[in-house]
Structure 1
């Protein structure tokens, strides 16, 4: 757990492998409701993808979706792996990158944002730093904050969370050498719960679902930090659905599937499921923002 974090700079792999001709041939025997496939998923999204697969396989008992959870950079490499049918991460390919996969793999490639996620900030229950601005977040990540807080991230390599912090928050500045990396998101939670000076960065799907028994147990160990709103200076907000939808919570990102399939098979079936009514409801219940359905915000008041 206390392995020093070594940031691996994210580089979109421009592999020129040719999988036609002598390459492995695709198995066309599966259908949207029958067969077996393997997909590659960024580890940050394990809770929600596990839930999606469980429901899909339950509704289609002749299917089996094997999932490999990895750092995001490894998922992107799997786009050139002919045994991987789908990648789920926060990466969206450019037109030229998509064409590179098509030319190399000789399959149809589709991608679609299916939900909006947020990077949640968690603190030890004893911490007094529960309201932070983005400027203070940047100082914590660079080691220049007024308090000796140690940032802890979900992965030892280039996960989507690390890439987001490097690209969208630090924007070229160096991450502090004191930063720590945990092998999994739940390891981040456990580490922060035991170390008062630690502050963690994880996908909100790990702690956002208050109907999930495991996530409720996590919330007893740590507290979620409120971040200054992107539209109202001085107002601090949590990474809840309404704030993710409006991007009032400043650290949001889209969850995207990239499907490479030479026929209408199980990958297509699972993709349609995630973007359809049931899949979008699962995202909603996991407290992510559904990306393919309208979201209505209604004013509400509480009375003492």
Structure 2
């Protein structure tokens, strides 16, 4: 749900979104082209999936759009696209592991030659989504109201209103969900980062409707690695900062069971099938989930999704 913008030049009229056909980034594209947005001359949307790009093209009929089907590991293609833009928005999933490669391509596109000037002239803004993004702003709002901070907790919850959905639909990138449920996470405890078990830190909070009593767990997220180290928090003596997640109960149980079945911390490590073929469990699961959604899309009910972000300090 987070994103990163790399601003490379002074004129901000041409924008590139890499990984632009995903759920989060397609919304970014719509916002940039909307009448309430600042005027832009060109929006370059690039993704590895032609199918997803086709869907996005159909929904965005705007002459300012340029679309590209690309291999995000091809440095020369990335450089050629960066040469066309003033602002680059990175929406490639975190678990693709390409963030630093893309950042260095941005540096190369600016032709920075002196090591001591490696960051000069380039501004990178991290976490432009909901979590991280709005969550960090919430924490700062709380911090500004406190003279001293001993402890701060950040929470995100989602709840569906409507008929129960018999089809499992990932709320965001599948690798991200599996990591949140299967990986150890780092939380800021007793003044330092510490690893805690997956799905630990169980806590129930009574929230306003439509949420009611809501249960939360620790999960892997970036805020504990950044927020307590910012001056606004560090200077006020913060000793504990945690992040907790709550997905709708039936979906929550489904992800727990998938982790129990082996789609946990090793979801992206190859396994060998009896016929000798090597596959990543997450790739198999993604194909199965996509097929199930397509086959049974008529069974998917209309639901209202409610989300809440809040911080307690």
TM-score w.r.t. length of structure 1: 0.30
Whose radius of gyration is greater, 1 or 2?
A: 2
Q: Higher RCO, 1 or 2 (CA under 8 Å, sep at least 6)?
A: 1
TM-score w.r.t. length of structure 2: 0.30
